Amino acid sequence: MTTATPFDLKKNKAQQPMVSPAQEESETHSAPVAGLVVGVLVSICGEGLCSVSFNGNPGGTAVRAKVLAAITEDDIGKTVALLFENGEIKQPVVMGLLRSSAQGNCNLAKTVSGLVGPALQIQSDDDEINLIANRKLVLKCGSASITLDIDGNVEIRGNHILSRAAGQNRIKGSAISLN
């Protein structure tokens, strides 16, 4: 039985064939891809498929990917989050679009406070988000709206309003007017 000395190891390493960076890179990608990879949406192919580009993709060109998230032609060129089916680099799945750093990824309070002025304050913790307006807060979607004002008035408007309760559904007030 022979033992190798550090000198022998250096000598053997020097005698090993040189590996090009391209060969080394292809060997490292033979292992399953774990975790999230960031890429760019190149095109939409239809039928739940698109083309994406990402660092380390085989061949260095856009690769066909399955799509989990809703994407449109307007999203071409945007950054996407990718995972890989069975860890295979040749089977990417678009999980969704990444928000740009200009919009911020930190938390909702910082994101929204950057978009509004001092008239709206946002407080949040793990369980709730509080929107605090100086005089009036209006939530709108299409022709539906909820308005809260400084005097304590609440106005709910919509084409159809549905109130559901698993338990008792009560209406309280000093006076109740129907129609």
Domains of the chain in sequence order = 37-97 (2.40.50.140), 108-157 (no CATH)
- What pLDDT score does 119 carry? 67
CA-CA distances (angstroms) from residue 86 to 33, 34, 35, 90? 8, 9, 12, 10
H/E element, 111: helix 108-113
- What pLDDT score does 94 carry? 92
**Position 49: which residue type?**
L
**Position 36: which residue type?**
L
- What pLDDT score does 72 carry? 87
CA-CA distances (angstroms) from residue 76 to 23, 72, 102? 31, 7, 18
- What pLDDT score does 100 carry? 62
- What pLDDT score does 30 carry? 55
Q: Consecutive sets of 10 residues in the chain, 179 residues long: mean pLDDT of each?
A: 43 43 46 83 87 82 88 88 89 86 43 52 72 87 92 93 90 86
- What pLDDT score does 62 carry? 86
Tell how far CA 3 is from the center of its chain: 54
Among 29, 3, 149, which residue's Cα sits nearest to residue 92? 29
- What pLDDT score does 148 carry? 93
